[in-house]
Amino acid sequence: MLALVCAFAQAAPLYTLRTIAPLGFPNGLVLTGINNQGLVLGNEWREDVQAATGFVDRGGSRTWLDTLMLASCVNDGGAIGGTAGDIITAGYVVDSKGAVMLPPMQQQGSVSVSALNGHGHAVGSADAVYHPGTDGPYGQGTFDSHAYVYRDGSMTDLGTLSGHAYSSAAAINAGGLVAGVSRERAGDGVRRAFLHDGAGMVDLGTLGGAESWASGINDSGTVVGVSTMADGGVHAFLYAGGAMVDLNPDGGNSEAFDINNAGQVVGKGKGGGFIYANGVMTDLDALIAPGEWHIASAVGVNDRGQIVGQACNGYGECVGALLSPVPEPATWGMLLGGLALLGGAARRRRKAAAL
């Protein structure tokens, strides 16, 4: 029985790879997220409308988003968040009932959507503070953008860290905790990762450099992101229990983009896309069958362990990548259940023989 377990565990790669190729413009497709049902979200340049458009991939079947927006996130209910427009942008949440445009916080102000939680609460950035003048779009004044939460039809300005003018929310969990970045000035100035707990914004600090920014959060409130180092490099971090942890203290530059509720972190390192689990960072190339594709980055991971990102080959061609665990969790359950039955039968046989 032990031999069966060992053989099963060592037999195959830990992930299968399914590539999602652009339908038209070469290298014109990027994936942005995946939900727990396996719906894959991305954006692709479309020749027919001469614009980049969001899409949903369901098991290889692609559906375009009618709003022509760039899609950034999808929740477990299938609601999709994204942004449309160019100079002045509008944030949208699209679900089975239709598309809802988020209300701007300032007249002629922009809104962008970065993330949704399971309750349909959206976060991102929105123009919040107006500065009169003629330096902005169409000769109007300029804006400072702030992180926000959209819930129940209204926008809540989350403000900034002390002394900062700009902020943007990157992620929100089921409990409403929000992670993102606050900055001294839009476009430049020092950036710091923040966590907003509903009462206020907390500076998460750095790994020794001057800057940090957050990109993901799970339902336990664990935050992941990037911090600059004292030597000028950048390292992926994990923040939990009031402490920031370097995910690759002995490695090169890296960035963490997402974390699931099992604590698995995905991102991009010196060797390409990685997964960090149980204290170990592993290149995803080492976990798939050898072939023409190199996993260049990993941007999302769901609670089933499925990962989305980008894969490239030696000819410079890049496609979307969906990595699925092998065996699937249900398969592991069947195996372990079967082994338990075998073990029980063996114990009964030994007991009968003893009698």
Cα–Cα distance measured from residue 227 to residue 234, given in angstroms and rounded to the nearest whole number: 6
Alpha-carbon distances of 146 from 106, 158, 318, rounded to whole Å: 11, 7, 34
Token digits of residue 247: 């995910």
Rounded to whole angstroms, the Cα distance separating 243 from 248 reads 15
Looking at residue 193, its pLDDT comes to 99
Tokens of 260: 């699931």
Superfamily (CATH H level) for 2-354:
Peptidase/esterase 'gauge' domain (2.130.10.150)
What is the pLDDT at residue 294? Answer: 98
Decide if 109 contacts 66 (C-beta within 8 A).
no
The one-digit pLDDT tens for each residue of the chain (355 residues) are 333 334 334 446 899 999 999 988 788 999 999 999 999 999 999 888 888 999 999 999 999 997 779 999 999 999 999 999 988 999 999 999 999 999 999 998 999 999 999 999 999 999 999 888 877 666 678 899 999 999 999 999 999 999 999 999 999 999 999 999 999 987 778 999 999 999 999 999 999 999 999 999 999 999 999 999 999 999 999 999 999 999 998 889 999 999 999 999 999 999 999 999 999 999 999 999 999 999 999 999 999 999 999 999 999 999 999 999 998 655 444 443 443 443 444 334 333 443 3
pLDDT at 1: 39
β 307-312/223-228 pair status: unpaired
**pLDDT score at 27:** 87
Task: Name the token pair of 87.
Answer: 């100079």
By the 10 Å C-beta count (0-12 exposed, 13-18 middle, 19+ buried), 103 is classed as middle
CA distances from 325 to 4, 10, 47, 111, 217 (A): 19, 14, 34, 36, 22
Tokens for 145, please give them: 């953008």
Predicted TM-score of the model (pTM):
0.88
